[in-house]
């Protein structure tokens, strides 16, 4: 009996250990998402007062972080082009970050440093002298949509910039050079006007076609703006910097949250998926979907083709699951209870803040009911 009793005790201990391990694992699984969500909420709240940081992407392209949205900046000898302007309260910090970036690029050789000719008078300086004029100002702002974090800084940042004109344009339009040019799809202008935004914050140039190209090279590369209808809003665009091979995706890509879909402004989950698929068609990976084309999201870290592909796949699964629940006749409240986002809430979900998981599910549900195709 002794061996049998020993084996039973061993099995009891093993079962107890397994139960304890299962409980610990369950506690970890359920506590980790809450912790991650709390951290993300705290980080978003801290953006209101935190310093705006810049991060190198490739060549002349930089990512400004901490302005309510990621701002893509082309900084070079032609001046500065910004993709989105951040929220209104971040404007002073955005301008300070741009000036600091330009100053450091200039100081560390971004502008050519010319040395004086050798020989001549003995008193001539032998030290390098920077003969360049000061860096040129902000010349363009491109709005990828009409959401407040994208356009909130338009008014003051545009006022701090300049539009270069000449010839008859400068002679007949007195204020043609006052402020940077603001570019966007015409639906962005319509949405901003409907919200009663100040005239100085509105786009100065709009387009209505499938894409729009900046008429000349800017900072030694072509810049293409591509419109995606009915994605986050009905005026979404993403910006492709062709020489640097960088895409500023706007709010169709958020690497720390589910996408913000404004159904009342024409947004839809299918439009967001179409935008991500279009980005993937343009992007070329370096090796096994890693590296290659760099993609700047509206929120979160710098991404590449793999990140966009994973994000697209996740949204496709959530879309299909929600559609299946709708086809079963479930109401919105019933779909919320089913939690089609459950498998991804640990990384992308949140219960607090301006855009919660329930708000995202509601937007997906509404867009599939109101715009099924």
d(CA 179, CA 309): 38
**Model confidence band, residue 352 (pLDDT cutoffs 50, 70, 90):** very high
Question: Residues 31-50: pLDDT tens digits?
Answer: 345 555 555 555 555 555 57
d(CA 373, CA 368): 8
Question: Residues 125-159: pLDDT tens digits?
Answer: 555 555 556 788 999 999 999 999 999 999 999 99
The CATH H-level (homologous superfamily) assignment of domain 33-314 is Ribonuclease Z/Hydroxyacylglutathione hydrolase-like (3.60.15.10)
In percent, how much of the chain has pLDDT > 70? 76
Question: Residues 117-127: pLDDT tens digits?
Answer: 555 554 455 55
Question: Residues 166-204: pLDDT tens digits?
Answer: 655 555 455 555 799 999 999 999 999 999 999 999 999
d(CA 213, CA 299): 25
Burial status of residue 366 (CB atoms within 10 A of its CB: 0-12, 13-18, 19 or more):
middle
Give the side-chain half-sphere CA count within 13 A for 254.
Answer: 21
The pLDDT of residue 1: 45
Helix or strand (DSSP H, E) at 75: strand 71-76
């Amino acid at each position: 009996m002794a061996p049998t009793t020993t084996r039973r005790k061993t099995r009891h201990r093993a079962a107890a250990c397994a139960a304890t391990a299962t409980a610990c694992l369950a506690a970890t699984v359920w506590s980790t998402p809450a912790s991650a969500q709390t951290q993300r909420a705290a980080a978003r709240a801290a953006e209101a007062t935190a310093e705006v940081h810049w991060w190198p992407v490739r060549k002349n392209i930089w990512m400004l972080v901490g302005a309510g949205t990621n701002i893509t900046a082309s900084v070079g000898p032609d001046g500065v082009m910004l993709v989105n302007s951040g929220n209104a309260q971040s404007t002073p910090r955005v301008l300070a970050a741009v000036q600091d970036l330009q100053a450091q690029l200039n100081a560390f050789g971004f502008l050519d440093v010319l040395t004086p000719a050798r020989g001549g008078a003995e008193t001539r300086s032998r030290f390098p002298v920077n003969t360049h004029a000061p860096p040129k100002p902000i010349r363009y702002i491109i709005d990828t949509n009409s959401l407040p974090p994208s356009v909130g800084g338009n008014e003051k940042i545009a006022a701090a910039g300049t539009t270069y004109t000449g010839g008859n344009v400068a002679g007949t339009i007195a204020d043609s050079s006052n402020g940077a040019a603001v570019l966007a799809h015409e639906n962005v202008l319509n949405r901003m006007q409907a919200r009663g935004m100040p005239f100085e914050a509105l786009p100065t140039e709009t387009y209505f076609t499938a894409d729009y190209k900046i008429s000349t090279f800017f900072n030694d590369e072509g810049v293409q703006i591509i419109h995606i209808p009915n994605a986050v809003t009905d005026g979404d665009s993403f910006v492709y910097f062709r020489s640097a091979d960088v895409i500023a995706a706007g709010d169709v890509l958020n690497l720390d949250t589910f996408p913000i879909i404004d159904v009342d402004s024409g947004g839809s989950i299918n439009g967001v998926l179409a935008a991500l698929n279009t980005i993937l068609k343009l992007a070329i990976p370096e090796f096994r979907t890693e590296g290659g084309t760099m993609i700047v999201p509206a929120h979160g870290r710098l991404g590449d083709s793999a990140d966009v592909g994973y994000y697209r796949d996740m949204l496709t699964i959530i879309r299909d699951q929600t559609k299946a629940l709708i086809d079963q006749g479930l109401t919105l409240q019933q779909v919320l209870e089913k939690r089609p986002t459950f498998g991804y809430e640990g990384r992308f979900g949140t219960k607090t803040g301006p855009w919660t998981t329930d708000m995202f599910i509601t937007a997906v549900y509404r867009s599939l009911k109101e715009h099924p195709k």
